[in-house]
Every structure is written in C-alpha cells, then in structure tokens.
A and B are shown apart, each in its own frame.
Chain A
Amino acid sequence: DTGVSQDPRHKITKRGQNVTFRCDPISEHNRLYWYRQTLGQGPEFLTYFQNEAQLEKSRLLSDRFSAERPKGSFSTLEIQRTEQGDSAMYLCASSLSVEETQYFGPGTRLLVL
C-alpha cells in the first residue's frame, strides 16, 4: 500500500502525559499537512511542511504542540502535557504541491483521560 500511513491508530493516555504520532506520506510528495478533527466537525488545519521546512502553524497549535519532518519524509506530531481538550482525531495528509490533491491517512484517534 503506497498511501499515507499513520501510527498509532489509537492512543489512550492520561492527562499530563506526552504523546507522539507519526505520519508517513506518499513517497514523492513534498507537502505534508496535519489536521485535527473533533466529533461532528470538519478537519481543522494545524500545520504544514514543504519538504523539511515547517511553513505555517495554525493558532490552534499551542506551544504544547510540536511537529517535525527532519528529512523531508515522515513527520511526527508531539503533544506535551496533554489535556482532555486534546482528545480528537489527528489526520495527516500529503500532496505533490499546493495545487494538487491532498491524500489523507487513516488518522490517529487520541483519548485523554
């Protein structure tokens, strides 16, 4: 399967713990995006990368969130000191360029107890 993959698919953690998610984009895609989706809502943009450069971060991305794409391939999203409000589906997508289709991964569902 050469689509976008995400790991883990599900994560349950206690409030205050740190969590890290991984996204592997489609191999030739330069752009990588992170979104967050809560129940009944559409995905909300968090941040995106052009190769290894993080070009923009949403106001939703507080200083507890950090994302990296060290070699321009896979990306990680870390949430420090998790809060119950962080419970959501975290979606990763990739595309060849801003003008082309974004392909989404299956998402990581986070539950903070």
Chain B
Amino acid sequence: SQQGEEDPQALSIQEGENATMNCSYKTSINNLQWYRQNSGRGLVHLILIRSNEREKHSGRLRVTLDTSKKSSSLLITASRAADTASYFCGDTGRRALTFGSGTRLQVQP
C-alpha cells in the first residue's frame, strides 16, 4: 500500500515562479524524505524532515511537515528549467521508503 501520496500529479509553471507540491501519508511516520528524479535516472535526495520538525530549508527548497494532518509540502522558489523532474515523498518507517506516484514538474523557460 502507498504511504506518501503526492499532489498534484502534474504541475507546469514558468521559470522564476514558485512550485508547491504536497504529500499526504496514512500512518505515523519516523521521518519523511523528498526526492527528485530526472527521466530515466535514479532518485536524488533533497531533504529529510523528522517527525518532530515542522519546517526545513535547503537553498531554494522549503519543506513543511504537519503531523496532525499527516501532510508535508515542498516549495521550490524561483524555479529554473533544470528543476523539471518528478518529485517523490517517502516515509522512512520501520523498514523502507514507501512512495506515491510523484508530482511531475515542468518548468517552462
């Protein structure tokens, strides 16, 4: 069964705009990890946010976590064409990550 579910499934924006992706999960989490995947490639780790954290930043990335709503969001500010990729969230529970189908982000130059 899927744990992290990303929303929207697809997002198209202009370069320079901000992109927000959401993730919902079903059970309690240990931590939540966001990844990026370019077409046909492996997953690149972006941010890990622990269950006792509410917000985390890394460069142009901002992740929030609301454990009461079982949701997380990833904000990419000042997007670039190179940000075009699929983005996945996954929960690190007792064994391994469980992913949703991802959000496919297209940044138009």
A21 contacts the other chain (Cβ, under 8 Å)? no
In the bound complex, do residue A102 and residue B97 qualify as a contact, i.e. CB atoms below 8 Å apart?
A: yes
| Residue among B44, B45, B96 making CB contact with A48, cutoff 8 Å | B96
Instruction: Assess the B44–A42 pair: CB atoms within 8 A.
Output: no
Which B residues from 90 to 109 make CB contacts under 8 A with A?
90, 92-102
A103 touches B101 (CB 8 A): no
How many residues of chain B have a CB within 8 Å of chain A? 26
Known: A40-B101, A109-B40. A103 touches B96 (CB 8 A): no
Cα separation A76 to B45 with both chains bound (whole Å): 23
Interface size on A, residues (CB 8 A): 26
- B88 to A42, Cβ gap below 8 A? yes
Which A residues are within 8 Å of any B CB, using their own CB?
4, 33, 35, 40-45, 48, 55-56, 89, 91, 93, 98-107, 109
**Shortest beta-carbon distance from A96 to chain B in Å:** 12
For residue A32, give the distance in angstroms from its CB to the closest CB of chain B.
Answer: 10
Asked if A45 meets B98 with Cβ closer than 8 Å, knowing A99-B92, A102-B33, A102-B92, the reply is: yes
Partner of A42, one of B33, B42, B95, B101: B101
Chain B residues within 8 Å of A55, by CB: 95
Using Cβ atoms and an 8 Å threshold, which residues of chain A touch B27? none
CB distance from B96 to the nearest CB of A (A): 4
Distance between Cα atoms of A56 and B93 in the complex (Å):
13
- List the A residue with the shortest CB-CB distance to B99: A42
- For A45, list chain B residues within 8 Å (CB): 95-98
**Contact between chains at A98 and B41 (CB < 8 Å):** no
Which of A43, A99, A106 is close to B99, meaning CB atoms less than 8 Å apart? Answer: A43
